[in-house]
Homo-oligomer: A and B are copies of this chain.
Amino acid sequence: MTEFPGLSIAAVERDTGLSKDTLRVWERRYGFPKPLRDIFGERLYSAAEVDKLRCIKRLLDQGFRPSKLIDSSTEELTKLLESPRDAVAGIRELPSELASILDLVKLHRSDALRGLLTQTLMKHGLQQFVAAIAAPLNQRIGEAWMRGEIGVTEEHLYTELLQNTLRSAINAYPIHGLRPKVLLTTLPGEEHSLGLLMAEAMLVPEGARCVSLGIQTPLSDILLAARSGEVDVVALSFSAAYPVRHAVEGLTSLRGLLPEATALWAGGEGVRGRQRSLPNTRVIEGIDDTLAALREWRTARLDN
């Protein structure tokens, strides 16, 4: 490896998501980061500094304040990232925004809805937004549709706009980590993609490397992709509408064909409470449980 000189401030902005202004003001106030300068006084950030900045950014998104983090070492920060994840499960009463969104859906106020979704996402961060807003909302919308309170149009509109919001946020994450590499998709016949998208939204901020294939990938192609791509986890989503029998059959046969080292996760209403029928498969009970599954995978990997 040739000694690399360092990253420019623009590169660090892209890689960490911290604005140039923020990087400069931190240096002024806290003395970190303290990048070298090139011949002409421009900042050159080291790889170590960028790593630490990435950790800090992630903790920031979880509600920590910069001053509490900036003096810690990268190791301490990493530990903090892994262990005490109550922050996400914490604050749990956001019914006001939830109701507002639901109202806008019923009124077809698509512009306002788009704005409110984005705004709510910004305010709570991606994971909180998914866990506390999007997931409950999906359920409400589904119920309302069953009761005939809302029509197909409203449900479609909501799905589209939520998809835009989530995909924007996912796409904006500068670096999708390394391990585990998670392959996300659904079996043929499953029409719903929101579950997949929500799972991806939970995983990406944790530094998991997500590869989504969207819905309806044939079993043989899932296997092919999992084998050729050095995939650590195959994650499938099943909506309430998916026949349980198909889900269990598909998962069992997939489990038999996948390499033993590859984990298999199954989530969504369609498999809720089916852990007993699915040995060697991790059934994810509710969107929060995604993070638990991830933590389990990581600790298991440390022991080996």
- For the complex, is A140 an interface residue (Cβ under 8 Å from B)? no
1/0 contact trace for A212-228 toward B, CB 8 Å? 11100110010011001
Chain B residues near A221 (CB-CB < 8 A): 151-153, 156
| A160→B214 contact, CB < 8 A | yes
| A163→B156 contact, CB < 8 A | no
- Interface hits, A187-231 → B, CB 8 Å: 209, 211-214, 217-218, 221, 224-225, 228-229
| A157→B114 contact, CB < 8 A | no
From A213, which residue of chain B is reached at the shortest CB distance?
B156
How many copies of this kind of chain does the complex include?
2
Shortest beta-carbon distance, A185 to chain B, in Å? Answer: 7
Number of interface residues of A (CB under 8 A): 34
Chain B residues near A36 (CB-CB < 8 A): none
Chain B residues near A168 (CB-CB < 8 A): 167-168, 171-172
From A209, which residue of chain B is reached at the shortest CB distance?
B111
Inter-chain CA distance A203–B126, complex, in Å, is: 28
| B151→A224 contact, CB < 8 A | yes
Chain B residues near A167 (CB-CB < 8 A): 163-164, 167-168, 171
Inter-chain CA distance A170–B224, complex, in Å, is: 33
Q: Is the interface of A mostly helix, strand, loop or mixed?
A: helix
Given contacts A151-B221, A151-B224, contact A156 B111 (CB under 8 A): no
Inter-chain CA distance A130–B160, complex, in Å, is: 19
Residues of A in contact with B (beta carbons under 8 Å apart) = 108, 110-111, 114, 118, 151-153, 156-157, 159-160, 163-165, 167-168, 170-172, 176, 185, 209, 211-214, 217-218, 221, 224-225, 228-229
Given contacts A176-B111, A214-B160, contact A224 B171 (CB under 8 A): no
From A185, which residue of chain B is reached at the shortest CB distance?
B156
Shortest beta-carbon distance, A160 to chain B, in Å? Answer: 5
Inter-chain CA distance A159–B213, complex, in Å, is: 8
Inter-chain CA distance A211–B111, complex, in Å, is: 9
| A156→B108 contact, CB < 8 A | no
Kindly list the 10 A-B residue pairs having the minimum CB-CB distance in the complex, ordered from nearest.
A156-B213, A164-B171, A167-B167, A168-B168, A152-B221, A153-B225, A168-B171, A164-B167, A160-B214, A110-B211
Chain B residues near A111 (CB-CB < 8 A): 176, 209
Shortest beta-carbon distance, A13 to chain B, in Å? Answer: 10
Shortest beta-carbon distance, A251 to chain B, in Å? Answer: 19
Shortest beta-carbon distance, A216 to chain B, in Å? Answer: 8
From A184, which residue of chain B is reached at the shortest CB distance?
B160
Inter-chain CA distance A165–B156, complex, in Å, is: 20
Inter-chain CA distance A200–B225, complex, in Å, is: 31
| B153→A217 contact, CB < 8 A | yes
Inter-chain CA distance A171–B176, complex, in Å, is: 21
Given contacts A168-B167, A168-B172, contact A159 B217 (CB under 8 A): no
A-B contact list, 15 entries, CB within 8 Å = A108-B225, A108-B229, A114-B176, A118-B171, A151-B221, A153-B213, A156-B185, A156-B214, A156-B221, A157-B211, A157-B213, A163-B214, A164-B170, A167-B167, A168-B168
